[in-house]
């Protein structure tokens, strides 16, 4: 067990230094590595496999609701990017620009996409002519570049992977429904795949996406009490359609401006999984997104009965569709136990000669580190329930953490005390003036306007003016 302890000690404790714990884990669990350009990370196979799991699940959900995948160019002509004023102002400080080929300067500078609204809009302007062409519901999987000053693996980088959906509709009602339907898909992705209870709601005017009429968000609460914006959906109305002249002929042969939406989640979700579920021993991966769901570790692997039992378990689990691997390397069992705990593999099966004499193996569930004796012939049959119980327990634990760290403030002093503790603090405010004062005083930002807009107090505790909206605040990444 000395080796086990040494491995665990290599990770900083969450409560000692949460930021260092996170960085340690990203590197030591082999999720990523730093590249030679600051802010651009290397996705190692284990980290990329988590993203692939998210991608495959979400892609299935989007296709089931009629969305199609496309791919837009990496670069945007600067003149095109300038067509939507508010949008450009929102992204201008973050844009990377290509000015030369290395041989000669370009006739027009090219923006490396920070997002692709303008590209989709010019395409839609060409292909949308009649109401019969609508709706167009496109999505793309790609990377974007935003020249962030402060970067952290998966959470904020100069380049990150994401999906961005862009849809165009004939009516406001249809576009608004799309915006909220996607929000529901994101929330369900959190619950069903990532075991994360997302808080959903609308962004304040100050926090909404540049160029949007309304922005909605999914927010996750990390172990350190800070919130993480984990995805957004935007109702654009006709703002981009006006700028890009996206019109169609309706049933009455009248020209109409189209209505649009945009939405996306990114590799930031990997960061959310790490920080919501991880512990001092390492990652704790929800079983449905874990690249390896079961690792089999033979004890005394030179023994023929151990080899045969290991192969039997592996073959049966793999045939049943589980993601399973065997570690029969010459490293010690203690080293392997610590390694796979750190990597967050949901289930470890130890196959040793003593257990086999009794007709069973030892099964360890990562999330609670409990050991179970399980009959050799029942492993595959019981595995679906083992994984489901694990997923449900992780979700429930995360949900209870949100509930236990969500407060209502009736005074500004109460608000400041709660924010200092960490978590969400709901307060009814008078508007942007109060929002700015709160950010200046506490560094907390407005996360969402909850859909239930019941006022907590009649007056805003910050400005003492009439309260007009209830907002959930938190310190955030």
Q: Which is nearest to 157 in space by CA: 96, 116, 99, 217?
A: 96
Name the more confident of 102 and 399: 399
| Rg of the chain over all Cα atoms, to the nearest angstrom | 25
The answer on pLDDT for 4 being more than 60 is no
Q: Residue 85 phi/psi, 5° resolution?
A: -60, -55
The answer on pLDDT for 417 being more than 70 is yes
Per-residue b or e along 63-94, where b marks 16 or more CB atoms closer than 10 Å to that residue's CB:
eeeebeeeebebbbbbebbebbeebbebbeee
Region for 423 from its dihedrals, namely left if φ exceeds 0, alpha if ψ lies in -120 to 50, beta otherwise: left
* Tokens representing residue 418 in the block: 């709660």
The answer on pLDDT for 6 being more than 50 is no
Q: What is the pLDDT of residues 459-468, one digit of tens each?
A: 999 999 999 9
Q: Which DSSP state fits 94?
A: G
Residue 302, judged by CB atoms within 10 A of its CB (0-12, 13-18, 19+), counts as exposed
Between CA 246 and CA 84 the distance in angstroms is: 13
Name the more confident of 301 and 309: 309
Give pLDDT, residue 87: 65
Q: Tokens 């609308």 identify what position? A: 202
Domain range annotation of the chain:
12-277, 294-386, 407-474
* Tokens representing residue 260 in the block: 């649009």
Specify whether the CB–CB gap between 409 and 441 falls below 8 A.
no
Q: Three-class SS of residue 156? A: strand
pLDDT confidence band for 64 (50 / 70 / 90): very high
Per-residue b or e along 396-419, where b marks 16 or more CB atoms closer than 10 Å to that residue's CB:
ebbeebbeebbbbbeebeebeebb
Specify whether the CB–CB gap between 310 and 298 falls below 8 A.
yes
Q: What is the pLDDT of residues 142-189, one digit of tens each?
A: 999 999 999 999 999 999 999 999 999 999 999 999 999 999 999 999
Give pLDDT, residue 86: 66
Between CA 281 and CA 240 the distance in angstroms is: 48
pLDDT mean over 419-424 = 98
Q: Report the relative pairing of strands 294-298 and 324-326 from DSSP bridges.
A: parallel
Give pLDDT, residue 89: 74
**Least-confidence region, from 10-24, 221-235, 316-330, 338-352:** 10-24
Q: Residue 368 phi/psi, 5° resolution?
A: -120, 0
Q: What is the pLDDT of residues 114-138, one digit of tens each?
A: 999 999 999 999 999 999 999 999 9
Q: Which residues pair with 162 in a beta bridge?
A: 142, 266
The answer on pLDDT for 1 being more than 90 is no
Q: How far is CA 280 from CA 11, 20, 355, in A?
A: 7, 12, 29
Give pLDDT, residue 2: 38
Name the more confident of 11 and 476: 476
Q: What is the pLDDT of residues 71-105, one digit of tens each?
A: 999 999 999 988 866 666 767 778 999 999 989 99
Give pLDDT, residue 3: 41
Give pLDDT, residue 88: 64
The answer on pLDDT for 282 being more than 90 is yes
Q: Tokens 């978590």 identify what position? A: 423
Per-residue b or e along 2-36, where b marks 16 or more CB atoms closer than 10 Å to that residue's CB:
ebbeebeeebbebeeebeebbebbbbbbebbeeee
Give pLDDT, residue 81: 86
Give pLDDT, residue 58: 98
pLDDT mean over 39-45 = 97
450-456's contacts with Cβ under 8 Å and 24+ in sequence apart are 450/199, 450/201, 450/426, 451/200, 451/201, 451/202, 455/428, 456/408, 456/409, 456/410, 456/426, 456/427, 456/428
Homologous superfamily of 407-474: C-terminal domain of ProRS (3.30.110.30)
The answer on pLDDT for 7 being more than 60 is no
Per-residue b or e along 148-178, where b marks 16 or more CB atoms closer than 10 Å to that residue's CB:
beebbbbbbbbbbbbbbbbbbbbeeebbbeb
Topology given in CATH for the domain delimited by 12-277: BirA Bifunctional Protein; domain 2 (3.30.930)
Q: Which residues pair with 474 in a beta bridge?
A: 445
The answer on pLDDT for 347 being more than 70 is yes
Give pLDDT, residue 85: 66
Q: Which CATH number fits domain 294-386: 3.40.50.261, 3.40.50.800, 2.60.40.1180, 1.25.40.420?
A: 3.40.50.800
Between CA 224 and CA 378 the distance in angstroms is: 40
Q: How would DSSP label each residue in 291-348?
A: S-SEEEEESSTTSHHHHHHHHHHHHHHHHTT--EEE--SSS-HHHHHHHHHHTT-SEE
Give pLDDT, residue 9: 54
Q: State the chain's mean pLDDT as an integer.
A: 95
Give pLDDT, residue 84: 67
Give pLDDT, residue 301: 87
Give pLDDT, residue 93: 76
Specify whether the CB–CB gap between 212 and 234 falls below 8 A.
yes
Q: Catalogue the E-assigned strands of 72-158.
A: 75-77, 96-100, 105-112, 136-145
């Amino acid at each position: 067990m000395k080796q086990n302890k040494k491995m665990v000690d290599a990770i900083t404790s969450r409560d000692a230094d949460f930021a260092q714990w996170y960085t340690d884990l990203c590197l030591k669990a082999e999720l990523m590595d730093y590249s030679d350009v600051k802010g651009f990370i290397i996705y190692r196979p284990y980290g990329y496999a988590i993203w692939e799991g998210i991608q495959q699940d979400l892609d299935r959900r989007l296709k089931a609701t009629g969305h199609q995948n496309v791919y837009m160019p990496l670069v945007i002509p600067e003149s095109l990017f300038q067509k939507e004023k508010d949008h450009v102002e929102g992204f201008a400080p973050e844009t990377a620009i290509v000015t030369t080929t290395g041989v000669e300067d370009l006739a027009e500078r090219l923006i490396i996409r920070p997002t692709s609204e303008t590209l989709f809009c010019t395409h839609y302007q060409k292909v949308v002519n009649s109401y019969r062409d609508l709706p167009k519901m496109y999505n793309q999987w790609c990377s974007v570049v935003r020249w962030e000053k402060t970067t952290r693996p998966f959470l904020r980088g100069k380049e990150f992977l994401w999906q961005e959906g862009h849809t165009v509709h004939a009516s406001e009602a249809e576009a608004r429904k799309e915006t909220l339907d996607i929000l529901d898909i994101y929330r369900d992705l959190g619950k069903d795949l990532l075991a994360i209870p997302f808080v959903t709601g609308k962004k304040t005017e100050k926090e909404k996406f540049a160029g949007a009429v309304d922005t909605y968000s999914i927010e996750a609460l990390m172990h350190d009490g800070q919130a993480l914006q984990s995805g957004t959906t935007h109702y654009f109305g006709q703002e981009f359609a006006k700028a890009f002249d996206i019109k169609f002929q309706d049933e009455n042969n009248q020209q109409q401006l189209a209505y649009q939406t945009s939405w996306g989640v990114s590799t930031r979700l990997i960061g959310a999984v790490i920080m919501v579920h991880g512990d001092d021993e390492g990652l704790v991966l929800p079983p449905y997104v874990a690249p390896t769901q079961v690792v089999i570790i033979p004890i005394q692997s030179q023994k023929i009965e151990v080899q045969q039992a290991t192969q039997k378990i592996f073959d049966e689990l793999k045939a049943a569709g589980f993601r399973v691997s065997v570690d029969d390397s010459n490293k010690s069992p203690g080293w392997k136990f610590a390694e796979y705990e750190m990597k967050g593999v949901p289930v470890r099966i130890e196959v040793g000669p003593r257990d086999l004499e009794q007709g069973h193996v030892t099964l360890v569930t990562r999330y609670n580190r409990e050991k179970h004796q399980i009959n050799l012939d029942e492993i595959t049959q019981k595995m679906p329930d083992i994984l489901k119980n694990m997923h449900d327990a992780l979700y429930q634990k995360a949900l209870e953490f949100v509930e236990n760290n969500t407060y209502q403030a009736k005074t500004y002093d109460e608000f400041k005390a709660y924010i200092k503790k960490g978590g969400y603090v709901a307060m009814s405010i008078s508007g942007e003036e109060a929002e700015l004062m709160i950010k200046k005083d506490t560094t907390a930002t407005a996360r969402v306007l909850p859909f239930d807009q019941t006022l907590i107090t009649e007056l805003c505790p910050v400005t003492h003016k009439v309260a007009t909206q209830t907002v959930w605040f938190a310190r955030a990444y």
